[in-house]
Chains A and B, each alone.
Chain A
């Protein structure tokens, strides 16, 4: 079974971003970039499926700038077999990304597509569901467990009140939640080997996909700052403040 994994290059999760002075966006100059954490979990799940003998080939794909090749090499070092970059310097919205991924799905015909549930930059949580809609496939979002058997996959999902398990016909789309697995680190020999694995570069034009969006970002601002309050010396003082000053208990 072929597994397609989509990954996104984003600001490293440890970076506290700053809004640009002209409110056009956030300042990404000289900021550490990494693979989106949920995408790392997606790569790890695919690698585990291959180790279990369920997956036979892992293709990793990213939609983004030329520098996203770094994240694709990371995925190759973690165990993906080959990579595809759909190169676009523009910041694309989720629907455009989903359409590009659909074009890659049409080309590659994977049985399972694994994506992160959301990217930690745009915080949209849309692409997997949109790809599922465009492909006409079933979706198992926010997965904490994925079990393939025959032509079905059982996906246990993190939902608001607990867990839900759905059974999906393959091919299907899975988006990962935090507890699905704990991603491994790439070993040095694997990083070296990854440099020799194939990496194909495509463009939206070559895939015949329009990346126009119905959304336009007018401005980006810093959130209202919350200032630090006071330190209380004892539990008794805390209770007194909560009762008489804040009046919340």
Chain B
């Protein structure tokens, strides 16, 4: 059994989610190869070669793969993937974009967002916003799987010494092109990798009030997230959304501020180790999952918290 893991990267840096995906591959068992498809991504291939447990890195370096366009990357993965028992990618926006396209090309059903490996062909995954957990078995010759990073502790980024092999295959479907991107610039840790996450909800009242959360986050070295209600209300951008349809986080500490606790939000954070809820409504459902609840006006509690930590 040999497993192909698709590296998540921006041509410069290997994203941490790749380490969680390799961890899932290690649970399945067998040789682990990592595919780095990109342009000028040599540093990423070198980093992938150092991941503990990886025996080979395939480097497909081509202008067609520079922006991870699925029309070009999916045929590459499908072509290479035919010889593997499993193809795994992180359930990031990029993995979710590319992998179903690969699965369809291989004529197999994908298993999305696994949170555990039961055996080489059986996996657990959440459905209905995490209100049920399905155990799914695949009889596909090549099992195509996205991995929810919070379900697997990352493997060590160092310790391996895999060979890097160049892949010549160039697929350019010519149907799509990259036109631009606007990436949020922040010195704070990335939401899905942060040890502490502070999220604001509708109770924040407006985007400007998120400054209270940013101040507290900077003191704790935390990332800042938001509920869908706060995103829908236009307080903050969508890439901050934690929940069923946003990001899934499981930090050591999750502080929910002015968030009522809709099931869609709980789906994105209820696996956090410790949950703190600050809300002035003592009936808010968020208190039913919080380890520590504080019924208080957030505009008094958050600045006070910032002073005391």
Please report the C-alpha to C-alpha distance between residue A239 and residue B308 in the assembled complex, in whole angstroms. 7
Looking at the complex, which of B57-65, B124-132, B152-160, B206-214 is the stretch in contact with chain A?
Answer: B124-132
Q: List 4 tightest A-B contacts by C-beta distance, closest first.
A: A229-B291, A129-B100, A130-B104, A133-B104
Q: How far is the CB of B10 from chain A (nearest CB, A)?
A: 8
| Centre residue among A16, A221, A230, A231 by max chain B CB count within 10 A | A231
| Residue in contact with B178 in the complex, picked from A118, A166, A218, CB distance below 8 Å | A166
* Interface presence of B187 (CB below 8 A): no
Q: Chain A residues near B109 (CB, 8 Å)? A: 93-95, 213-215
Q: How large is the interface on B (under 10, 10 to 19, 20 to 34, 35 or more residues)?
A: 35 or more
Contact with A along B270-300 (1 / 0, CB 8 A): 1001111000001000011111111110000
Q: In the complex, what residue of chain A is closest to B71 when comparing beta carbons?
A: A138
Q: Given A16-B263, A166-B178, are A239 and B309 also a contact pair (CB < 8 Å)?
A: yes
Q: Chain B residues near A11 (CB, 8 Å)? A: 128
Q: Chain B residues near A220 (CB, 8 Å)? A: 127, 132-135
Please report the C-alpha to C-alpha distance between residue A226 and residue B288 in the assembled complex, in whole angstroms. 8
| Residue in contact with A219 in the complex, picked from B135, B282, B289, B294, CB distance below 8 Å | B135
Q: How far is the CB of B144 from chain A (nearest CB, A)?
A: 9
Looking at the complex, which of A1-9, A54-62, A155-163 is the stretch in contact with chain B?
Answer: A155-163
Q: How far is the CB of A135 from chain B (nearest CB, A)?
A: 10
Please report the C-alpha to C-alpha distance between residue A235 and residue B274 in the assembled complex, in whole angstroms. 16
Whether A16 lies near B110 (C-beta < 8 A) is no
**27 A-B Cβ contacts within 8 A?**
A16-B131, A26-B127, A95-B110, A121-B128, A123-B112, A123-B128, A126-B100, A129-B104, A133-B104, A139-B101, A141-B70, A161-B183, A168-B175, A177-B238, A215-B137, A215-B140, A220-B133, A220-B135, A223-B126, A229-B290, A231-B282, A231-B294, A232-B293, A235-B301, A235-B305, A248-B273, A249-B309
Q: Given A218-B135, A238-B305, are A167 and B176 also a contact pair (CB < 8 Å)?
A: yes
Whether A226 lies near B289 (C-beta < 8 A) is yes
Whether A226 lies near B128 (C-beta < 8 A) is no
| Residue in contact with B126 in the complex, picked from A123, A178, A217, CB distance below 8 Å | A123
Whether B101 lies near A160 (C-beta < 8 A) is no
Whether B175 lies near A138 (C-beta < 8 A) is yes
Which residues of A123-143 have CB atoms within 8 Å of chain B's CB atoms?
123-134, 136-139, 141-142
Please report the C-alpha to C-alpha distance between residue A168 and residue B184 in the assembled complex, in whole angstroms. 24
Please report the C-alpha to C-alpha distance between residue A95 and residue B107 in the assembled complex, in whole angstroms. 8
Whether A235 lies near B176 (C-beta < 8 A) is no
Whether B127 lies near A122 (C-beta < 8 A) is yes
